[in-house]
A and B are shown apart, each in its own frame.
Chain A
Amino acid sequence: MPLGDAATLKDYLPLLLQGIPITLELTFSSIILVVISGFVLGLGRSSKVRGIRWPSAFVVEFFRGSSAIVQLFWAFYVLPFFGIELPPYVAGVLVLGLNGGAYFSEVVRASFASVPKGQTEAAAALDLSAWFRLTRVVLPQALPLMVPAFGNALIDMLKFTALLSLITINELAYRADAIRSVLTEGGEVYGLTLLIYFVLSLIFSFGVQRLEYLANRWAGRGELTRRGPGRKGKSGVPRWAFPSRS
């Protein structure tokens, strides 16, 4: 502990913790954009109309071509030159949301593609409207497949909000960095902050598991929700695969 420095980490703790609601707000704002853009781009890429498919593919590959941090810097430093002055919060959520949405769109595309064609055909034969077909027949079946990816995206958003500290947003990571420079200590504050993120991501994981259960229920997949002993399955590593002592 440097001499003459009366303040300790404990004194700055409230300041650090106040970053949590900001981080959560950013996370949820971003994930909403991820889902929206994911669906738009995912369905766009599945479209049979080239005029929709190609631009969608272009946007997706564009955002997947570099990392979030590069895009954040570009939005923060370069866009003003184009006359677009986005407040950091907006720029941050926009970049995270579109970047995450580009990745999520692949999952959306694959999930919709995996719903058997027979379903849409049967629905059409029953004279059900296109909207009904999409939302009440195809979507419920595609949804459970998207939930795990959604869960990953949610936790990714949580982690990526830390990058927003680099464009001057006063969330958790920013505060940790500030506290470190004030206290001029080693990385202890970062260790504590990492734990905070860890706890948050665990909470999110549990939430997502619950979501998965509900999504399977909605899709009528009761069997997948039961937490039974593992099936005497076709895979899984047998006990004797590892050297034993006896």
Chain B
Amino acid sequence: MTGFSWDWQFALQILPQLLQGLQFTLEATFFGSLLAFVLGLVWAVIRLAEVPIFSQAIRLVVEFLRGTPLLLQLYFLFYVFPNYGITIPALQTGIIGLGLYYSAYASEVYRAGIEGVPRGQWEASLVLGLPLRRMWGRVVVPQAMRFATPVLGNFVISMFKESAILSTITVLEVIGQANIIGAATARYIEPFTLAGLIFLAISYPASRVIRLVEARLSG
């Protein structure tokens, strides 16, 4: 291994390739978040409805998703699907994996948000005779989202950072590209440092924005 040296020319050379990987990162984050937010709401509502057996089963699923490593969940999906004749490309498998994992977290956020809505709001809706869908849609959920939105925003940022894990199932996102470059050129400093900087450059401003939004919503 050569000693510490930074080759600016090389760094600029590989940047486009890394940014190509960024495309996949962003795609995975976007669709993964979508899946997580929708699925999370489904889990939350089922749990809140306290349907006998079904709600408990969902609780178990959520605890399982939250309590086991994402890496293994991805491996499982990646290797199990083809076995049963389902071929899903790596990126989509990754999206499903990320979406499932974060849906468990999202469901807890929705639950906390909904349970945090003061009892009086529910009671006022009942007393006025509001139809259930108005009570939920126009009274409860908007108030729950005041709490949930910044937290969910942070999840998107987390997912963005975590998407690097997709490199382990052959997705060529940022870290995946960095790995390839490193293995091919035996130069690891530039690709991995640049990759780290790319993550920092996006996630730090994003988290400041979330903090601003949070301050606005609670003010």
Q: Which residues of A contact B (CB under 8 A)?
A: 61-62, 64-67, 69-71, 73-74, 77-78, 80-83, 155, 158-163, 165-166, 173, 176-177, 180, 185-188, 190-191, 193-194, 197-198, 201-202, 205, 233-238, 240-243
Contacts and interface: CB of A to CB of B under 8 A. Distances in A.
A137 to B, nearest CB: 29
Interface stretch (B14-22, B31-39, B161-169): B161-169
B136 A241 contact: yes
A186 B75 CA distance: 10
A90 B25 CA distance: 29
Contacts of A81: 1-5, 188-189
A27 to B, nearest CB: 11
B119 A236 contact: yes
Q: What 9 A-B pairs come out closest when comparing CB atoms? A: A186-B83, A201-B67, A187-B80, A162-B69, A187-B79, A67-B161, A65-B200, A66-B199, A190-B76
A48 B89 CA distance: 52
A190 B75 contact: yes
B69 A73 contact: no
B76 to A, nearest CB: 4
Given A65-B204, A242-B48, 11 more contacts: A62-B200, A69-B165, A69-B175, A70-B192, A73-B192, A81-B189, A173-B69, A186-B84, A187-B77, A194-B73, A197-B69
A193 B64 contact: no
Contacts of A61: 204
Given A74-B196, A240-B126, A194 B165 contact: no
> In terms of DSSP, what is the predominant structure of the interface of chain B?
helix
Contacts of B180: none
A184 B75 CA distance: 13
B69 A159 contact: yes
B118 A235 contact: yes
Contact of A78 (B123, B135, B168, B192): B192
Interface residues of B, number: 62
Contact of B117 (A64, A161, A198, A235): A235
Contact of A180 (B63, B66, B79, B123): B79
Given A190-B79, A194-B76, A162 B193 contact: no
Contacts of A62: 200
10 contacts: A64-B207, A67-B199, A69-B162, A70-B164, A83-B4, A166-B168, A186-B80, A190-B75, A197-B67, A201-B68
